[in-house]
């Protein structure tokens, strides 16, 4: 088991990647807590989501200054992502640990494959040009309805796997809603505040949160989130999507290996 102070360093590095790609950080926090600190998976997910609340708030503050958040669209998605997250947290408390770990790993690999394939086929940039502004997006009834419907499953994934929801929300925003990747990552972090709080409420009721660990991780992630938000705007949409995919492959492979 690693020393406790390593959590601050982990939190800082995770905060950079989480904010930059809009995934929240749970894809790394859950494996770290299970591998190095002997957490059971559902306790790691609850602790991860608690940390993500702070990471998401810190990222949102920075992205709001950059004017990269689609606030209206984000709030509409919260209508389904938040209750979905609570349901996912409930499912996590009753599922067998090995199954949960395998589901987590396979899920991440599938999302990663979809993101990378979309870049290699050069479809990402084409889809991003479909809708330019937040107002245009919410006035597209069918598009926003699709996003809200899919958002429920993003919320379930968030609560179930402790990932904050960004691994599904970012693809939903870019592929289904046509939002540019730079705005999708920022908007994902905004919605993650509400999604994570909803899931944490259930984990708290089940006594599955280690608050000292969560707050220690948060101490590093809050700073890292500022670095990630700044770095994100320097990257091209193609490169940002590729980084998003590679991060998910690494995290997914780690979980599959552990629970094989």
Q: Structural domain boundaries of the chain?
A: 6-258
119-129 exposure pattern, b = at least 16 Cβ within 10 A, e = fewer: beeeebeebbe
For residue 259, the model assigns a pLDDT of: 63
The CA-based angle 95-97-99, given to 5 degrees, is: 75
The pLDDT tens digits for 175-187 are 888 888 889 999 9
Q: Hey, CA dihedral for 108, 216, 64, 134, is it positive or negative?
A: positive
Q: Are 81 and 169 in contact (CB under 8 A)?
A: yes
Residue 67 corresponds to which tokens in the numbers above? Answer: 């004017």
Give the pLDDT band of residue 96 (cuts 50, 70, 90).
confident
Instruction: Of 139, 184, 164, give the one whose Cα is nearest residue 85.
Output: 164
Q: Are 183 and 69 in contact (CB under 8 A)?
A: yes
Please check the confidence at residue 129 and state whether its pLDDT lies above 50.
no
Of 167 and 226, the one with more pLDDT: 226
| Spatial separation of the C-alpha atoms in residues 102 and 71, rounded to whole Å | 34
The pLDDT tens digits for 54-69 are 999 999 999 999 999 9
Residue bearing tokens 């992205």: 63
Q: Are 80 and 144 in contact (CB under 8 A)?
A: no
Q: The whole model's pTM is what?
A: 0.83
Q: Are 164 and 22 in contact (CB under 8 A)?
A: no
């Amino acid at each position: 088991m690693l020393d406790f102070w390593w959590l601050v360093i982990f939190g800082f590095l995770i905060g950079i990647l989480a904010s930059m790609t809009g995934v929240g950080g749970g894809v790394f926090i859950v494996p770290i807590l299970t591998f190095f600190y002997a957490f059971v998976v559902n306790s790691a997910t609850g602790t991860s989501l608690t940390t993500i609340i702070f990471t998401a708030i810190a990222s949102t503050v920075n992205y709001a200054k950059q004017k990269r958040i689609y606030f209206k669209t984000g709030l509409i998605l919260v209508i389904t992502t938040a209750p979905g997250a609570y349901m996912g947290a409930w499912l996590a408390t009753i599922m067998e640990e090995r199954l949960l770990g395998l589901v987590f790993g396979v899920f991440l690999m599938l999302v990663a494959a979809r993101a990378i394939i979309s870049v290699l086929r050069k479809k990402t940039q084409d889809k991003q040009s479909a809708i330019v502004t937040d107002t245009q997006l919410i006035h597209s009834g069918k598009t926003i309805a699709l996003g809200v419907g899919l958002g429920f499953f993003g919320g379930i994934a968030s609560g179930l796997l402790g990932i904050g929801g960004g691994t599904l929300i970012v693809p939903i925003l870019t592929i289904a809603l046509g939002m540019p990747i730079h705005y999708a990552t920022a908007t994902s972090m905004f919605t993650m505040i509400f999604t994570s709080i909803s899931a944490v409420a259930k984990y708290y009721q089940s006594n599955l949160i280690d608050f000292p660990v969560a707050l220690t991780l948060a101490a590093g992630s809050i700073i890292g989130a500022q670095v990630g938000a700044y770095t994100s705007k320097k990257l091209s949409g193609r490169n940002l999507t590729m980084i998003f995919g590679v991060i998910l492959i690494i995290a997914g492979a780690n979980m599959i290996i552990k629970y094989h």
